Amino acid sequence: RAIRRVVRMVSQRIGDESTQEAEATCKRLLRRLDLGTDHTVIVILGGTGCGKSSLFNALAGMGFAEVGAVRPTTDRPAACVWGDGAEPLLEWLGLDRELWIQRDSMLEEHIKELRGLVLIDLPDIDSVAMSHRDTCQQLIPLADMLVWVTDPVKYADPSLHARYLEPMGEHEGSMVMVLNQSDTLDAADLKAVKEDLTARLKRDGMSELQVLTTSAVKGHGVDELRNLLVGATRSRTTTAKRGIVHLREVARQLEEIVGAPTKGGAGDSWVGAAQSEAIESLRRSCGGPAAVEALADGREPDKLTPPHMDHIRMMLLTWLQRALEEVPAPWGPAIGHTLASSQNISFRLTEVLPSITPTPRPGLFARLLRRGRCHRARADRFDADLRTCLETLVTRTMTAPTIAVLEDWADARATLRRIAQG
């Protein structure tokens, strides 16, 4: 929820387009948590002909056709559910009701062990049908654990490694690699292929990814894989672990958008100087120095008048230029969006400047007693009142909105770094 707060804030400050993917990920993770962790979603995926569906049936302990009256197919994902209460989760996953298999009325020991497991057989990731690939892309991020299935022929397929495995290096804790059809190799060849697969996975950034060998046809290694699924289902933390990795990925993506200090500073150290410059610019342009000089000489000053609109625009552009130099893009434009318009500042000056009037002239006795000092004191008081008025105006229309943006930036940066670093 903290990162979603940051996503919304960044979206408001610097635009929706840059944060749409992050917002969608946060919504997905929150919805997954709302559905509870009583069920663990594990998907089986791989290329054409590697035996995914056969392995799915072997893990389920039955043939799909025997129970569902629907032939096992890779056109649409099929799910086997151990236990009940998973209907909302399956609907959220978008699975067709006719392809759900529920195993909650049988007495086999492994049925009890796997209670809470939602096992899904996905279409082939290398299918020529784009709809099959799209289905995989939609369901992979929703799964709590991924069981990648390959075989002695396709285990080195570059598309498997470059398109899927290498980009998912951080998710290896929620994955297992299965080298199926191991019965087609003798012991020496199987060992060599497994070692080569392990080496390739290390190059993909998955040095800790577990590799199992199975034969769905002969049942070799199926029990070992089933025990691994039992452990993932019983832990009740599998969902959270995958979600944390997703959040860290989102945090790192947003860190690039949020940006780091351009000059290594605190980010708002320039605001005080910019405020002083803006106040002095307005003071000069509205006739403040001339009025102070007149008062110091014992003369009555001309009335203060708002500066020309072009002068106010130039002052705002100078402020924005400082912002663009001092803060990471696109936070400079975000600051520009929060500044009051030149018309607004001109209107406010028109309202407040008439209230800045000199104190009454000192009497003759005071002038004789204190000579020129009374005029200087009157001039200083007038100047102080003018500066206070202008400082209040600049603070409300420029300084405070700018600092609010910079505080949001600092908060977003700190939160994202904390999440990304775990």
Whether residue 416 is predicted with pLDDT greater than 90 in this model: the reply is: no
Percentage, residues of the chain above pLDDT 70:
90
Quote the CA–CA distance of 138 and 130 in Å, as a whole number. 12
pLDDT reported for residue 332:
87
pLDDT reported for residue 110:
57
What type of residue sits at position 236?
R
Going by pLDDT thresholds of 50, 70 and 90, the confidence category of residue 62 is: low
pLDDT reported for residue 67:
33
Going by pLDDT thresholds of 50, 70 and 90, the confidence category of residue 73 is: very low
pLDDT reported for residue 388:
96
Q: Lowest-pLDDT range, 10-19, 65-74, 279-288?
A: 65-74
| pLDDT tens-place string over residues 268-296 | 789 999 999 999 999 999 999 999 999 88
Helix (H) or strand (E) holding 326: helix 309-326
Give me the half-sphere count of Cα atoms (radius 13 Å) on the Cβ side of residue 132. 17
**pTM flag (> 0.75):** no
Whether residue 346 is predicted with pLDDT greater than 70 in this model: the reply is: yes
| pLDDT tens-place string over residues 17-52 | 767 888 888 888 888 888 888 899 999 999 888 888
| pLDDT tens-place string over residues 90-99 | 999 998 888 8
| pLDDT tens-place string over residues 176-231 | 999 999 999 999 999 999 999 999 999 999 999 999 999 988 889 999 999 999 99
Residue that wins the pLDDT comparison between 262 and 340:
340
pLDDT reported for residue 238:
87
Q: Are 319 and 274 in contact (CB under 8 A)?
A: yes
pLDDT reported for residue 267:
61
Q: Which of 279, 273, 278, 268 is nearest to 404 (CA)?
A: 268
Percentage, residues of the chain above pLDDT 90:
47
Q: Which of 411, 421, 289, 418 is nearest to 9 (CA)?
A: 411
pLDDT reported for residue 319:
95
Whether residue 372 is predicted with pLDDT greater than 70 in this model: the reply is: no
Identify which of 68-77, 190-199, 227-236 has the greatest average pLDDT: 190-199
Whether residue 72 is predicted with pLDDT greater than 50 in this model: the reply is: no
pLDDT reported for residue 185:
93
Whether residue 1 is predicted with pLDDT greater than 70 in this model: the reply is: no
SS3 261: coil
Whether residue 167 is predicted with pLDDT greater than 70 in this model: the reply is: yes
pLDDT reported for residue 294:
92
Quote the CA–CA distance of 17 and 123 in Å, as a whole number. 31
| pLDDT tens-place string over residues 295-339 | 888 888 899 999 999 999 999 999 999 988 888 888 888 999 999
Helix (H) or strand (E) holding 119: strand 117-121
pLDDT reported for residue 362:
63
Q: Are 199 and 87 in contact (CB under 8 A)?
A: no
SS3 122: coil
Query: Across the chain, what does the average pLDDT equal?
Result: 86
Q: Lowest-pLDDT range, 51-60, 233-242, 252-261?
A: 252-261
Other Cβ atoms within 10 Å of 401 Cβ, number = 18
Q: Which of 139, 113, 111 is nearest to 42 (CA)?
A: 139
SS3 46: strand
pLDDT reported for residue 364:
55
pLDDT reported for residue 139:
92
